[in-house]
Homo-oligomer: A and B are copies of this chain.
Amino acid sequence: MEKSINEIIKQMRSQKYKLTPQREKILRVLLENKDKHLSAEDIYYIVKQKALEIGLATVYRTLELFLENGVIRSVDFGDGKKRYEMGNQDKEHHHHHHAICLNCNKIIEINEDLLCELETQVHKEYNFKIENHEVKFFGYCSECDHK
């Protein structure tokens, strides 16, 4: 279940963070675009459009803050910029995968928790022809686990 904006705001307040109009607006933009994978610049322009003066640096700093607090997560589609979406990266939370079209750059969200059902599955369910896949595991190696 996704956290509501109020829960997140409460969470922020309870820490040493201030709830500025900029932060709240960025949060709302992210919430209103759960399906979009916005870049920092995307967010910057959307917020400005909504009649709030804001600097690009503030957007970056706020996203960094949200990232550190598990409010959002970042995804990298290899196009040179990071994108952001609601939700944290914890293992407990739902992971969804992305299929990126090499031709039209469309990003298809694949809600499939098991990685087991490999190319065949993806191909069947989404009619997406896989040319290449990339897997990254983030975590701690045996030497660092105990630190």
Contacts and interface: CB of A to CB of B under 8 A. Distances in A.
Contact of A91 (B75, B114, B131): B131
A133 B134 CA distance: 10
A95 B135 CA distance: 10
Interface in A92-133: 95, 97-104, 106, 108, 110, 114-119, 122, 126-133
Contact of A101 (B75, B76, B127, B141): B141
Contacts of A129: 139-141, 145
Interface in A52-103: 75-78, 89-91, 95, 97-103
A140 B91 contact: no
A147 interface: yes
**Chain A interface size, under 10 / 10 to 19 / 20 to 34 / 35 or more:** 35 or more
- Identical subunits present: 2
Contacts of A131: 89-91, 138-140
B128 A141 contact: yes
B89 A140 contact: no
Contact of A139 (B132, B144, B147): B132
Given A115-B115, A136-B134, A127 B141 contact: yes
A143 interface: yes
A142 interface: yes
Nearest to A101: B141
Contacts of A100: 136-138
B140 A103 contact: yes
